[in-house]
Amino acid sequence: MGDFWVFGYGSLMWRPGFAHTETHRARLHGYRRALCVHSHIHRGTAERPGLVLGLDRGGSCIGMAFRVPDALRDEVTTYLRERELVTNVYHERLLPVRLENGPMVEALTYVVDRGHPQYAGRLDAEHAALAVNGAVGVSGPNEEYVLNTVAHLDALGIRDQWLENVARRIR
């Protein structure tokens, strides 16, 4: 089958957790990075849900693409499913991404399931910040998640004005 690619748009960008042989900035068209998933475990609780990132329809998203050797296909796919599909709020998809200064490749990607009860819909920055403020889950405060994401995006030279606006409102 050959090597395969994984597209990361949130914590996968700086903490992939799997072996890979190449990393490139990449753009996915037709989806945007958004705080559109109610978190009942990692960044909130059922009583006080937080928000985590998902890929939602519309626009485009700059993230990172990781090339994974074919020999690790089963191991990496199993790892990603355990990490991303805990509550089945994402759909696993193979989608075309454009590598920066390079070709289009098909990448394993996780997009939000708009029909899932955890789908928060399209929120403006003010409402997203209100949902994030004060939410805490097993992985820590929701504010920390958003601010950490913005800091890592900045370090990678990736601008996300909407997410930066949310971060300004929670600081």
Please identify which residue in the block is written with the tokens 């909407």: 162
54 to 37, 90, 103, 106, 110: CA distances (angstroms): 6, 8, 25, 19, 8
> Among 82, 84, 144, 164, which one carries the catalytic annotation?
84
Is 137 strand, coil or helix? Answer: strand
* CA 72 remoteness from chain centre: 22
Active site residue 84: yes
Strand runs (DSSP E) across 19-158, as ranges?
22-39, 50-68, 90-99, 104-112, 136-137, 140-141
Looking at the DSSP bridge assignments, the partners of residue 141 are 136
Catalytic residues, which ones?
Answer: 84
